[in-house]
Structure 1
Amino acid sequence: MAKKKVNLLDQVPVLKTKLQVIDEGKKSFLLVERNNPVEKMAIRFFKQQKYRKINLDAEGAFILKRLDGIKDVSELEQEFSQEFGNEDEMSLARLVRFLQIVDSYGWLRWEKKA
């Protein structure tokens, strides 16, 4: 039996609970907990950080800060277009590609619009 196709614009992306976006001055970072066994040993024995800090550009920080579990992709695209412009009419493509990259790391969960 064929899979039912899902419209991405109706999906609600949500950042997983152990991840957070922080601002330090003018820079924004995504904090990712290091929790695999090798990393836990490195934290314990080599006194490394418990979190990885991933540097975000302005567009990435803007998107991740708005993943509140309420807005679907089409609403995020409207806000993104208002903030960064849509002269080349590629704002939706840039947004979707960014969400695909973040999802490929397993940092998102997808919910259906209520």
Structure 2
Amino acid sequence: MVKITYVEHNGRPHIVDVPHGASVMEGARDNGVPGIEADCGGACSCATCHAYVEQSWVDRLPAKQPIEEDMLDFAFATDPARSRLTCQIRVNEELEGLILHLPERQP
């Protein structure tokens, strides 16, 4: 398990243990974290799992694939450097301590 912190738009943190191999989105969804809707279930076709990666983590995550870049066009208030779709980030031991901030709303 890897500890990931999801911070709601209002500042309330949720520290969650997420199993290796799950997506960051699944960790939020399976633990009832408000602010991650995950309408498409992880198929990268809805942008309702958008989050802002804590600045110190931006360069530590795998690069965005073209499909994620395209889908982020549909997300609310994106940040070119920090916005990610959490369904596209797979959990491994290197993500221990990852911090994500959730947007005010999802599309």
Which category describes the TM-score, using the shorter chain as reference length? under 0.3
Greater Rg, structure 1 or structure 2?
1
Q: Compute the TM-score of the two structures, normalised by the length of structure 1.
A: 0.27
Higher helix share: 1
